[in-house]
Structure 1
Amino acid sequence: MCYSVNALAELVELAKLNKISQYPDSYVPAGKISGFTHPLLPVITQENPREIQLFQWGLLPAWAKEDQAAELANMTLNAREDSIFEKPSFRDSIGSKRCLLLIDGFYEWRHEGKQKIPYYITLTDQRPFALGCIYSVWKNRPTFSIVTTNANPLMAYIHNTKKRMPLILNREEERRWLDPELTKAEIRELMQPLDEGQMEAKVIA
């Protein structure tokens, strides 16, 4: 699964890469950060595709109760593609509330016996990229979850216990992910693992 990302790029850089002029001026890049701290991170939504906004990691559906929110947010950092249309927390978002999370890379751990070996994963060009996500607004608080897919061979080697990876989208797929007219079948078609040839992974200390 994907619980730790690296968000290094300034919003002005992300805006330039995505040909966007609207973005918050108060954002400070978080660097390496865990989803369990529920940070605010830069996203682009299908409702406002010309603007970068800051959403909180850990999706809370509109019906979530106050006393369940903290626990639920820890359980919705990721949304599996094989159950996203059925899960109560996600099914209302996947059809009409899709977004892109803008990051520089993410972290995953390989298990060898009792040892956990950390890897940092980026694209080969080392540029910021987008993860396919879904979002929901809870009590005026916008929240999101990272969609995950089956692992490609590289990620199956690294994430050798669960064999999952985040949904990484190329430029054309990013545009399509934000298309409000997509059918259920077209959304499913987009939720595929990225070719490992476009990715780079390094063991970190």
Structure 2
Amino acid sequence: MCGRFLMGATLEELLKRYKIQEDVEKEFKYGEIFPNDTSIVVVRDKQNFLKNMKWGFINPYNNRPIINARSETVYQKSMFKDSFNKRRCLIPVTAFYEWKKEHKTSVKYEIKIANKNIFSLAGIYISYKDNKNQTYTVFTILTTSPSKPIEDIHGRMPVIINEEFEEEWLSNKDTNFEFTKSLMKPYQDSLLIKQADSHNDLRLF
């Protein structure tokens, strides 16, 4: 599970990092992002651009948002497969959080990539209509099995897309299916892991 992440980059840093020419979104949430929050997402339509989206697909069975999708089955599940084929996105983060069960408590860990201020989590998105017939867009984060440094903390981790493959991930047309699947694997490069300052419980899960 990826239950929270940190967006600590400025708009200028995001525009430069993702080679975006027009800053369509002027404002976005800065700091720790929770499920149901709106966060900045990178999508592509001829060129990259930023879009604010709400975190969590609509769950048809209860009010809990679906904030993660398993990479092993995302291209098979009816709720996700169309988005996987046509609407892939990148979620820029400066860190993500995982919780380790220790006795009767859960200890929060902050996880970053060494020498990278901003990195990209793999996501998919979809648009819905609200009860006023207004369109809004949501995303979910893809997860995979944990890499060695994380497996002692949690049984899953978000899919991190290496910078060199970000354009391929965003290119939702004429993409090699097997190659796209191959990008959804545990991250193998260096990670910086430290115990976070707070021990907030995951209130929704």
- TM-score normalised by the shorter chain: which range applies? 0.7 to 0.9
How far did 1:23 drift? 2.3
Of the candidates 85, 100, 107, which is equivalent to residue 97 of structure 2? 107
Inter-partner Cα distance in structure 1 for 2:61 and 2:11: 29
Counterpart in the other structure of 2:57: 59
What whole-Å deviation, never above 9, does each CA across 1:25-80 have from its counterpart, x for those lacking one? 54143301211xx11111111335421111111124xxx8xxx4972xx3420010
What whole-Å deviation, never above 9, does each CA across 1:95-117 have from its counterpart, x for those lacking one? 11100011111111111221311
Runs (5+) with no aligned partner, structure 1: none
Aligned length: 191
Inter-partner Cα distance in structure 1 for 2:79 and 2:163: 28
* 1:95 and 2:90 aligned: no
Aligned CA-pair RMSD: 1.9
Inter-partner Cα distance in structure 2 for 1:190 and 1:164: 16
Inter-partner Cα distance in structure 2 for 1:49 and 1:143: 20
After TM superposition, the score normalised by the length of structure 2 is 0.86
Name whichever structure is richer in helix by fraction. 1
Inter-partner Cα distance in structure 2 for 1:48 and 1:31: 29
Inter-partner Cα distance in structure 1 for 2:5 and 2:104: 24
- Name the SS for the 1:155 alignment partner: coil
Structure 1 stretches of 4+ moved >4 Å: none
Of the candidates 76, 84, 92, which is equivalent to residue 74 of structure 2? 84
Inter-partner Cα distance in structure 2 for 1:153 and 1:45: 30
How far did 1:90 drift? 0.4
After TM superposition, the score normalised by the length of structure 1 is 0.86
- Name the SS for the 1:99 alignment partner: strand
Runs (5+) with no aligned partner, structure 2: 130-134, 198-205
How far did 1:183 drift? 2.9
- Name the SS for the 2:100 alignment partner: strand
How far did 1:126 drift? 4.1
Counterpart in the other structure of 2:192: 200
Contact 1:2 1:165 in 2 (8 A): yes
Counterpart in the other structure of 2:184: 191
Contact 2:28 2:39 in 1 (8 A): no
Inter-partner Cα distance in structure 1 for 2:94 and 2:74: 25
Structure 1 residues 10, 48: closer, same or farther in 2, change over 3 A?
farther
Inter-partner Cα distance in structure 1 for 2:3 and 2:78: 21
What fraction of aligned residue pairs are identical, expressed as a percent? 29
Inter-partner Cα distance in structure 1 for 2:105 and 2:137: 37
Of the candidates 122, 138, 158, which is equivalent to residue 153 of structure 2? 158
Structure 1 residues 57, 70: closer, same or farther in 2, change over 3 A?
farther
Inter-partner Cα distance in structure 2 for 1:136 and 1:120: 28
